[in-house]
Amino acid sequence: MSVLPPLRLGVNIDHVATVRNARGGKLPDPLRAAAIAAAAGADGITAHLREDRRHIIDTDIEGLIRELKIPLNFEMAATPEMVGIALKHRPHAACIVPEKREERTTEGGLDAAGQHNHLKPMITRLRDAGIRVSLFIEADPRQLDAAVALGAPVVELHTGRYCELAGAAQRAELSRLQKAAALCGKLGLECHAGHGLSYADVGPVAAIPEVRELNIGHFLVGEAIFVGLDQAIREMRRVMDQARTAGPSA
Report the residue number, 207 or 236, with the smaller CB distance to ligand PXP.
236
Please state the closest distance from residue 97 (CB atom) to ligand PXP, in A: 5
State which residue, 141 or 222, has the beta carbon closest to ligand PXP: 222
Compare residues 106 and 247 and give the one whose CB is closer to ligand PXP: 106
Minimal distance, residue 145 CB to ligand PXP, in Å: 20
118 is catalytic: no
- Choosing from 15, 55, 192, 195, the catalytic residue is 195
Q: How far is the CB of 159 from ligand PXP (least distance, A)?
A: 8
Please tell me which residue in 75, 99, 138, 156 is annotated as part of the active site: 75
Secondary structure in 3-state letters for the chain: CCCCCCCEEEEECHHHHHHHHHHCCCCCCHHHHHHHHHHCCCCEEEEECCCCCCCCCHHHHHHHHHHCCCCEEEEECCCHHHHHHHHHHCCCEEEECCCCCCCCCCCCCCCCCCCHHHHHHHHHHHHHCCCEEEEEECCCHHHHHHHHHHCCCEEEEECHHHHHCCHHHHHHHHHHHHHHHHHHHHHCCEEEEECCCCHHHHHHHHCCCCEEEEEECHHHHHHHHHHCHHHHHHHHHHHHHHHHHHCCCC
Q: Rounded to the nearest whole angstrom, what is the least distance from the CB of residue 56 to ligand PXP in the complex?
A: 10
Which stretches of the chain bind ligand PXP, using CB under 6 A?
12, 14, 48, 75, 95, 97, 105-106, 136, 156, 194-197, 215-219
Active site residue 48: yes
Note if 138 is an active site residue.
Answer: no
Please give the positions annotated as active site: 48, 75, 195
